[in-house]
């Protein structure tokens, strides 16, 4: 088969090419010039608009998109459409982040004052408000009418509560107890704690849920005492989980040099009050070294398997020889990271520098 | 690789057109490239499967330390995930079966760019090589998702795995590009868009996702590599960056990737169900267009992987809402398939059995997906075995069932011989029962709160974990058995006709196996490929 | 239209005509450009989000970029795009000599672009305006300014790699043009390289105002 001329193809006339080139240069000059005038946010808008104009000229004429088949035009435009989806949906996250509720002790706890007066007294307004919150928070499991038959109910065992049935409420049907359930959840069932909702909203939910069946029990003063409420007061303060900004959360994350260390740190803050460095050292020693090197200089449980006697770092016996690896932090690091070839000492390459430091400090301290 | 012994002697076809190892390694024939992909993918499937079995063995007894330590366990599930996702499930149907079948279905002699096609294969293998190389160094322990900042800090050889996935991504892009142009430009005369077989439609939608999503994975992985090499800090909170932004980048690719995996399988099911029901497909246009619906929605739901990662509540709400829409086009497909079978004359041959397997398992996977898309429930189920069970039902129950259905359906076309139908039925039941025994208990475990990715668990979860491990052994046996009877079929199966299933798409109009250039003369299409008449309920006698 | 031709191009067996092959190849190129848009797109998305979060930091950091250098490079790249377009149309008309001349000009302009980039980069290195962890500059007061320079180096770096690749393929088609392989009947490679080169220009058209002219 021979060749035929590609005759339907549009050839860019030299004159058009030169005109477009000149136009592009003029537009470049305009962008630079306008950038020097302060127009606030419009600077960005104009700069992007001019860039788009330039890009369109290049695409339409230099790249011949103007005379291209509609198929190819569609293909090229599609890419920008999906780019737009990418940026818009990601922006719904990055520009709309709120403070995050944090369970833990390292940040001062906040407390919230309920805004309503005596929210434990049911009113039609509270019930209506409760219904709104219910529609957002509870329908998935408990169902639209509170029959415990929401779309997710099928997967749950025990099944979600049917609010129209009176029997079998784990904490009873008194308002204070329903309130308590909302705050604490019902472990180990799938009923979670809704302590993140403001107390007033939880009271509203309580009243709505109880309104689904007319038979309501009344709280005794003892019940109020159990949830820490004085029914004679106008309102009540409730401890709330502290909130931190996403920025703070990120910086917290940044301080943790590795996940390992973070774990050790939390462990530390909970169970023991020791200096941080050596503490990590002890934790790591017990985790990685104990099996071979043993606790008190006699070698660990694996010694009989290894045949070679691992160095007893934690010396209790005066005759125990110090390992040359303990001469300095650098030598120690090398030995631990790479292992000691020919000596069955494996490398622990995933320890961070601060972990190695802690381990070294711990061993030094133990030997003194 | 070369199955010369399997070749039916006599006429000239693609398997005996040229001989020797080099005629395979340097081939531009889409059929041979498809087979090379197929065998490579099966090799990686074996690797990923071994890691899966090791994971299950470790979990057989509670308390850890059964087989390996926790760090090694982390590497095992990372490798299982990364190999299965990047090297098996994504290329399995489009690159292997698609490469083989698509041009023949279109009545073309080859894909649009045969050289590029071969290049994609070698790019894929290079990427795989890097990833596998990392295995022999310090491995990787980040999970296949490479979440920052851990992936920046860990001292394992993540860099090599990232680089491997980056390279393998280009293979996916180029295959997608090749298929789009092939479908646009190389359809046989008379093969209008509305006569296009549904497998082609599915591959078309898949290719569009591959072309649009994979480049974002490429830039994500480049940035992550740069985090490790140049400390650019865009995803590193220590340097002022945003680790959650990484998750957005990652899932902008990896969610659509789920549809790269499932759409082609849906295409295969759409081919098989009318053939074995002897009825025209119900809702042809609905099935074709819903593929595009799925492809589009694939791009606007990625945030549902991040409900508890710290993204804004607005984003949580938007993504939860949008995710619900996936159920619509998926439902359209499922109902159309069921509609096709309604009052059909159903033949329970192996491909159809696998299609049923797909319908059952995929529907379960899809519906549990709706649970997970519901924000309030997902908060509790995230990172539990419920999620693990859900996506295995979709990926194994969906993609793998589709792949096996397709392999059984096109086996006679690919090798010119039949496998043993009885053996295929035994294999099917082994795999399907094994699969359900493995993964159904994981739904329960997850709902009870057993977290995923831990090397140990609380003693009360022991019983279900044991069942699950036993099931995984059963799947393993099923796959080995399947490999065995396929091998038997290739070597000494009965000779297959050009059209053993009495089907109407173009690949059945040429001989089995097809000649080097697919057709002796370019076919002309005059009708829709699903025109089964009411009296046309026959299957060749030996297959009934 | 059919002039005397020295070269006759044989299209591949699975196409029906040379034009068929050309259309397929061109569509492939457009799809490839789509993937490029999304690959660069990732960086633009990161840029847009960080700029939205830290506008003051972007404003302060961008003052350490040399606008005149950026503007010069814009002019250079636009001109190279023009010469590339002229080279393609010369090839389509069968004017081999002018096609070669324009291709050489494009190559020279591309070298100029990278030269200017080299001076800019070395200046940044000198001032400690480096990405992320290597950022040592003390003049900039805003926190997180290192992010701006991470983005700057990633975006211009990826673009620079594309310029380098572009120079490679331009050299390749220059060689083929010199051998007389292109004419009115066959010019697919030169047209496709042209498309690629214009795309590289297109990216820079956005990079320039976004990085150098932050309002």
Query: Among A23, A6, A21, which Cα is nearest to A67's?
Result: A6
The answer to whether B191 touches B106, Cβ cutoff 8 Å, is yes
Preferred mutation among A13, A61, A62 to probe C, highest tally of C CBs within 10 A: A62
Please indicate, yes or no, if residue C200 is contained in any of the structural domains: yes
| A50-90 confidence digits (pLDDT tens) | 999 999 999 999 998 888 888 999 999 999 999 999 999 99
Q: Are A78 and A170 in the same domain? A: no
Query: In 10 A of CB C181, how many CB atoms?
Result: 18
The answer to whether B111 touches B103, Cβ cutoff 8 Å, is yes
Per-residue pLDDT band for A272 (boundaries 50, 70, 90) equals: very low
Domain limits for position A184: 111-244
Please indicate, yes or no, if residue A273 is contained in any of the structural domains: yes
The answer to whether B410 touches B507, Cβ cutoff 8 Å, is yes
Preferred mutation among C78, C79, C92, C188 to probe A, highest tally of A CBs within 10 A: C78
Please indicate, yes or no, if residue C3 is contained in any of the structural domains: no
Q: Which of A34, A59, A94 is a domain's end point? A: A94
CATH code (residue A336)? 1.10.760
Residues of chain A contacting C101 with CB distance shorter than 8 Å:
none
- CB proximity B449 to A under 8 Å: yes
Q: Integer distance in angstroms from the first to the last C-alpha of chain A?
A: 91
Residues of chain C contacting A13 with CB distance shorter than 8 Å:
89
Backbone angles phi, psi at C183, to 5 degrees: -165, -175
Domain limits for position C184: 18-212
**Cβ of A91 and C52 within 8 Å?**
yes
Q: Which B residues in the span 90-149 are in contact with A, Cβ-Cβ below 8 Å?
A: 138, 149
**Cβ of C27 and A71 within 8 Å?**
yes
Residue A102 has pLDDT above 80, yes or no: no
Tell me the C-alpha distance between B165 and B47, whole Å: 16
CATH code (residue C136)? 1.20.120.80
Query: Among A295, A328, A325, which Cα is nearest to A312's?
Result: A295
Please indicate, yes or no, if residue C64 is contained in any of the structural domains: yes
Tell me the C-alpha distance between B63 and B61, whole Å: 7
| C90-134 confidence digits (pLDDT tens) | 999 989 999 999 999 999 999 999 999 999 999 988 888 888 778
CA atoms in the 13 A half-sphere facing the CB of C155: 26
Q: Which of A11, A63, A79 sits opposite C198 (nearest CB)?
A: A63
C61 CB-near residues (< 8 Å, 6+ apart): C140, C142, C145, C148, C149
**Cβ of B153 and A352 within 8 Å?**
yes
Nearest CA in chain A to B252: A86
Q: Which two tokens mark C75?
A: 């002019």
Tell me the C-alpha distance between A191 and A182, whole Å: 9
What pLDDT does residue A315 have? 46
**Cβ of C49 and A58 within 8 Å?**
no
Residue A103 has pLDDT above 80, yes or no: no
Please indicate, yes or no, if residue C8 is contained in any of the structural domains: no
Give me the residues paired with residue A238 across strands.
A112
**DSSP result, A169-221:** -TT-SSHHHHHHHHHH--TTSS----TTS-HHHHHHHHHHHHHTSS------H
> How would you write B217-278 as a 3-class SS string?
HHHHHHHHHHHHHHCCCCCCHHHCCCHHHHHHHHHHHHHHHHHHHHHHHHHHHHHHHHHHHC
Please indicate, yes or no, if residue A213 is contained in any of the structural domains: yes
Give me the residues paired with residue A100 across strands.
A244
Residues of chain C contacting A94 with CB distance shorter than 8 Å:
49, 52-53
Tell me the C-alpha distance between C191 and C86, whole Å: 11
Tell me the C-alpha distance between C92 and C22, whole Å: 13
**Cβ of B299 and A82 within 8 Å?**
yes
Pairing between β-strand A243-244 and β-strand A100-101 as defined by DSSP bridges: antiparallel
**Cβ of B233 and C150 within 8 Å?**
yes
Residues of chain C contacting B108 with CB distance shorter than 8 Å:
14
Q: How many domains does chain C have?
A: 1
Tell me the C-alpha distance between B34 and A237, whole Å: 69
Please indicate, yes or no, if residue C12 is contained in any of the structural domains: no
Preferred mutation among C68, C81, C205, C211 to probe A, highest tally of A CBs within 10 A: C205
Please indicate, yes or no, if residue A105 is contained in any of the structural domains: no
What pLDDT does residue A49 have? 92
Min Cα distance C127 → chain A (Å) is 24
Does the reported pTM lie above 0.95?
no
Dihedral of CA atoms A319, A325, A329, A334 in degrees, nearest 10, equals -160
- CB proximity B233 to A under 8 Å: no
A149 CB-near residues (< 8 Å, 6+ apart): A143, A160, A162
Q: Are A209 and A281 in the same domain? A: no
Residues of chain A contacting B154 with CB distance shorter than 8 Å:
258, 350
Q: Which residue has the higher pLDDT, C12 or C54?
A: C54
Please indicate, yes or no, if residue A300 is contained in any of the structural domains: yes
Tokens 């038997």, residue located: B488
Chains that touch C (3 or more CB pairs under 8 A): A, B
DSSP, collapsed to helix, strand or coil, labels residue B533 as coil
**DSSP result, A245-283:** -HHHHHHHHHH-SSHHHHHHHHHHHHH----HHHHHHHH
CATH code (residue A121)? 1.10.760.10
Q: Which A residues in the span 60-99 are in contact with C, Cβ-Cβ below 8 Å?
A: 61-63, 68-69, 71-72, 75-76, 78-80, 82-83, 86-87, 90-91, 94-95
Q: State the maximum Cα–Cα separation within chain C, in Å, rounded to a whole number.
A: 68
The answer to whether B472 touches B392, Cβ cutoff 8 Å, is no
Residue C201 has pLDDT above 90, yes or no: yes
Residues of chain A contacting C215 with CB distance shorter than 8 Å:
35, 38-44, 47
Q: Which of C35, C93, C202 sits opposite A11 (nearest CB)?
A: C93
Query: Among C197, C211, C201, which Cα is nearest to C76's?
Result: C201
Per-residue pLDDT band for B55 (boundaries 50, 70, 90) equals: very high
The answer to whether A227 touches A235, Cβ cutoff 8 Å, is no
C→B interface, C-beta within 8 Å:
12-15, 20, 23-25, 27-28, 31-32, 34-43, 45-46, 49-50, 131-134, 143-144, 146-147, 150-151, 153-154, 158
Please state the rounded mean pLDDT for residues B177-188.
94
Please indicate, yes or no, if residue A37 is contained in any of the structural domains: yes
Q: Integer distance in angstroms from the first to the last C-alpha of chain C?
A: 53
A→B interface, C-beta within 8 Å:
71, 78-79, 82, 85-86, 89-90, 92-98, 100, 137, 140-141, 151-152, 155-157, 188, 190, 192, 246, 249-251, 253-254, 257-259, 349-352
What pLDDT does residue B115 have? 94
- CB proximity B376 to A under 8 Å: yes
The answer to whether B522 touches B506, Cβ cutoff 8 Å, is no
E strand or H helix that includes residue B378: helix B375-381
Find how far residue A344's CA is from the centre of its chain.
40
What share of chain B has pLDDT > 90, as a percent?
Answer: 73
Backbone angles phi, psi at B524, to 5 degrees: -115, 125
Please indicate, yes or no, if residue C71 is contained in any of the structural domains: yes
Domains detected in chain B: 27-529 (1.20.210.10)
Please indicate, yes or no, if residue A251 is contained in any of the structural domains: no
Per-residue pLDDT band for B226 (boundaries 50, 70, 90) equals: very high
Q: How many domains does chain A have?
A: 3
Residue A298 has pLDDT above 60, yes or no: no
The answer to whether A339 touches A289, Cβ cutoff 8 Å, is no
The answer to whether B239 touches B297, Cβ cutoff 8 Å, is no
Least confident of A336-345, B24-33, B308-317, B454-463: A336-345
In this complex, how many residue pairs, one in chain A and one in chain C, have their CB atoms less than 8 Å apart?
Answer: 162
Helix intervals (H) in chain A: 14-35, 42-57, 70-94, 124-137, 139-142, 175-184, 199-211, 221-226, 246-255, 259-271, 276-284, 290-293, 303-306, 329-338, 353-367
Please indicate, yes or no, if residue A4 is contained in any of the structural domains: no
Q: Are A264 and A359 in the same domain? A: yes
Over chain B, what is the mean pLDDT? Answer: 91
Q: Are A117 and A219 in the same domain? A: yes
Say if residue B513 is preceded by a cis peptide, omega within 30 of 0. Answer: yes
**Cβ of C10 and A51 within 8 Å?**
no
Please indicate, yes or no, if residue A53 is contained in any of the structural domains: yes
The answer to whether B494 touches B531, Cβ cutoff 8 Å, is no
């Amino acid at each position: 088969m021979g060749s035929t001329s590609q005759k339907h193809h549009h050839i860019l006339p030299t004159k058009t090419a030169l005109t477009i080139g000149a136009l592009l240069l003029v537009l470049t000059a305009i962008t630079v010039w306008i950038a020097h005038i302060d127009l606030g946010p419009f600077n960005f808008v104009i700069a992007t608009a001019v860039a788009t104009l330039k890009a369109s000229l290049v695409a339409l004429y230099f790249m011949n998109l103007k005379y291209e088949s509609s198929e190819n035009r569609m293909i090229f435009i599609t890419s920008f459409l999906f780019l737009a989806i990418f940026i818009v949906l990601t922006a719904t996250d990055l520009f709309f982040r709120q403070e995050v509720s944090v369970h833990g002790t390292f940040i001062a706890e906040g407390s919230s004052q309920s805004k309503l007066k005596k929210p434990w007294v049911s009113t039609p307004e509270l019930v209506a408000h409760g219904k709104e919150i219910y529609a957002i928070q509870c329908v998935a499991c408990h169902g639209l009418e509170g029959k415990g038959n929401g779309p997710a109910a099928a997967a749950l065992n025990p099944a979600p509560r049917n609010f129209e049935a009176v029997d079998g409420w784990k904490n009873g049907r008194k308002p204070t107890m329903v309130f308590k359930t909302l705050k604490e959840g019902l472990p180990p069932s799938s009923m979670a704690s809704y302590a993140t909702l403001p107390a007033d909203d939880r009271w509203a939910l309580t009243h709505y849920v109880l309104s689904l069946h007319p038979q309501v029990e009344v709280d005794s003063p003892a019940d109020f005492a159990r949830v820490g409420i004085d029914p004679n007061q106008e309102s009540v303060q409730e401890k709330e989980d502290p909130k931190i900004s996403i920025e703070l959360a990120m910086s917290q994350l940044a301080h943790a040099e590795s996940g390992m260390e973070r774990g050790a740190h939390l462990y530390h803050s909970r169970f023991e009050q020791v200096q941080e460095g050596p503490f990590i050292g002890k934790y790591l020693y017990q985790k990685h070294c104990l099996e071979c090197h043993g606790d008190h200089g006699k070698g660990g449980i694996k010694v009989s398997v290894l045949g070679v006697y691992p160095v007893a770092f934690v010396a209790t016996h005066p005759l125990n020889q110090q390992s040359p690896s303990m001469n300095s932090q650098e030598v120690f690091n090398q030995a631990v990271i790479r292992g000691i070839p020919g000596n069955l000492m494996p490398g622990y390459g995933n320890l961070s520098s601060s972990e190695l430091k802690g381990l070294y400090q711990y061993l030094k301290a133990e030997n003194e | 690789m070369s199955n010369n012994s399997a070749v039916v002697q006599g006429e000239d076809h693609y398997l005996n057109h040229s001989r020797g190892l080099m005629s395979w390694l340097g081939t531009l024939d889409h059929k041979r490239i498809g087979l090379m992909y197929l065998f490579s993918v099966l090799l990686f499937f074996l690797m990923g499967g071994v890691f899966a079995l090791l994971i299950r063995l470790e979990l057989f007894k509670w308390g850890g330390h059964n087989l390996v330590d926790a760090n090694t366990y982390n590497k095992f599930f990372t490798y299982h995930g990364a190999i299965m996702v990047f090297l098996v499930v994504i290329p399995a149907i489009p690159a292997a079966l698609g490469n083989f079948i698509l041009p023949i279905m279109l009545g073309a002699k080859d894909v649009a760019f045969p050289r590029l096609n071969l290049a994609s294969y070698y790019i894929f293998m290079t990427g795989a090589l890097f990833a596998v190389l990392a295995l022999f160094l310090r491995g990787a322990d980040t999970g296949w998702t490479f979440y920052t900042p851990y992936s920046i800090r860990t001292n394992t050889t993540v860099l090599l795995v990232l680089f491997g996935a980056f390279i393998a991504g280009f293979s996916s892009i180029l295959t997608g590009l090749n298929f789009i142009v092939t479908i646009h430009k190389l359809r046989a005369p008379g093969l209008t868009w509305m006569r296009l077989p549904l497998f082609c439609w599915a591959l078309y939608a898949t290719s569009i996702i591959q072309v649009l999503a994979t480049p974002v994975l490429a830039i994500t992985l480049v940035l992550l590599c740069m985090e490790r090499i140049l400390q650019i800090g865009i995803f590193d909170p220590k340097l002022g960056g945003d680790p959650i932004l990484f998750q957005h980048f990652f899932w902008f690719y990896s969610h659509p990737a789920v549809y790269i995996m499932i759409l082609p399988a849906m295409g295969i099911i759409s081919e098989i169900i009318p053939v074995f029901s002897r009825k025209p497909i119900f809702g042809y246009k609905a099935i074709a267009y819903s593929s595009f619906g799925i492809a589009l929605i694939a791009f606007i739901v990625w945030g549902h992987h991040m409900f508890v990662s710290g993204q804004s509540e607005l984003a949580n709400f938007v993504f939860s809402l949008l995710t619900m829409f996936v159920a619509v086009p998926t439902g359209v497909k499922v109902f159309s398939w069921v509609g096709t079978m309604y009052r059909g004359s159903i033949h329970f041959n192996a491909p159809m059995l696998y299609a049923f397997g797909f319908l059952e398992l995929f529907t379960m996977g899809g519906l549990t997906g709706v649970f997970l898309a519901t924000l309030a429930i997902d908060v509790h189920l995230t990172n539990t075995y419920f999620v693990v069970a859900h996506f295995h039902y979709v990926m194994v129950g969906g993609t793998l069932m589709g792949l096996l259905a397709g392999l059984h359906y096109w086996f006679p076309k690919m090798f010119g011989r039949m496998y043993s139908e009885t053996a295929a039925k035994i294999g099917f039941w082994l795999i399907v029962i094994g699969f359900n025994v493995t993964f159904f208990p994981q739904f329960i475990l997850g709902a009870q709160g057993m977290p995923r990715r831990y090397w140990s668990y609380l003693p009360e979860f022991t019983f279900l974990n044991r069942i699950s491990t036993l099931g995984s052994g059963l799947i393993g046996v099923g796959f080995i058995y399947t490999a065995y009877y396929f091998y038997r079929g290739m070597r000494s199966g009965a000779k297959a006709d050009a059209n053993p299933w009495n089907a109407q798409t173009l690949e059945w109009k040429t001989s089995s196996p097809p000649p080097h250039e697919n057709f002796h003369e370019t076919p002309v299409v005059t009708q829709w490929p699903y025109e089964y008449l009411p009296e046309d309920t026959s299957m060749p006698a030996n297959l009934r | 239209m059919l002039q005397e031709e020295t070269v006759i191009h044989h299209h591949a067996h699975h196409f029906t005509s040379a034009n068929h092959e050309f259309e397929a190849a061109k569509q492939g190129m457009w799809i490839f450009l789509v993937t490029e848009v999304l690959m660069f797109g990732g960086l633009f998305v990161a840029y847009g989000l960080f700029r939205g979060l830290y506008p003051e930091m972007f404003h302060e950091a961008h003052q350490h970029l040399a606008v005149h250098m950026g503007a010069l490079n814009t002019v250079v790249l636009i001109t190279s795009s023009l010469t590339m377009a002229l080279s393609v149309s010369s090839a389509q008309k069968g004017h081999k000599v002018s096609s070669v001349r324009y291709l050489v000009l494009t190559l020279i302009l591309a070298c100029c672009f990278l030269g200017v980039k080299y001076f800019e980069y070395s200046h940044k290195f000198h001032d400690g305006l480096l990405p992320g962890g290597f950022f040592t500059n003390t003049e900039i007061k805003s926190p997180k300014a290192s992010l701006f320079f991470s983005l700057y180096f990633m975006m211009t770096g990826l673009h620079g790699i594309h310029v380098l690749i572009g120079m490679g393929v331009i050299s390749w088609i220059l060689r083929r043009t010199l051998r007389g392989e292109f004419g009115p009947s066959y010019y697919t490679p030169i047209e496709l390289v042209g498309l690629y080169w214009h795309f590289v220009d297109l990216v820079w058209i956005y990079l320039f105002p976004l990085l150098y002219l932050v309002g």
